[in-house]
Amino acid sequence: PYVKIYLLHKGTRQAKWKSTIKKKTLVPIYNEQFQFDVTDMNISFILLEVSVMDYDRLGRNDLMGFFTLGEGANHPSGRQHWQEMVSHPRNPISRWHALGAKNTNSLRRGSSGITGSKSSGSLSSS
């Protein structure tokens, strides 16, 4: 599996980040950082869409689940995590998030951890 993160501003994709692929494991551990430049964007309209994808060399990569971070996040934990990141710039804030199924309100099994911080107009995570 791998993680894909989209930075959305007012619902439009502005940037994308993709992790390395973790092969032959059902419990991948990601210790990677990402950073987006958000200096020209209103922080209230930013949403991070975090998707966990199942890697398939021969076919289509399937969505295992996703969650969002931001004021408009699809779950209260995503809104709370975002608020903590914005309130404590340059400090990593770690949280686990349940993965939801795309375009439904039901949750799939699984969770993903993400650490994020906002600093100098950028978002970073490890």
- Using a pLDDT cut of 70, give the percent of the chain over it: 81
Residue 30: pLDDT over 50: yes
Task: Give the pLDDT band (50/70/90) at residue 37.
Answer: confident
Contact indicator for 122, 35 with CB cutoff of 8 Å:
yes
The domain spanning residue 96 has which CATH number? 2.60.40.150
Q: Specify the number of domains making up the chain.
A: 1
Task: Give the pLDDT band (50/70/90) at residue 49.
Answer: very high
Query: What's the CA gap between 84 and 81, in Å, rounded?
Result: 5
What Å distances lie between residue 118 and 19, 27, 30, CA to CA?
19, 28, 19
Residue 115: pLDDT over 90: no
Residue 119: pLDDT over 60: no
The whole domain housing 56 covers: 2-125
Residue 77's pLDDT is 95
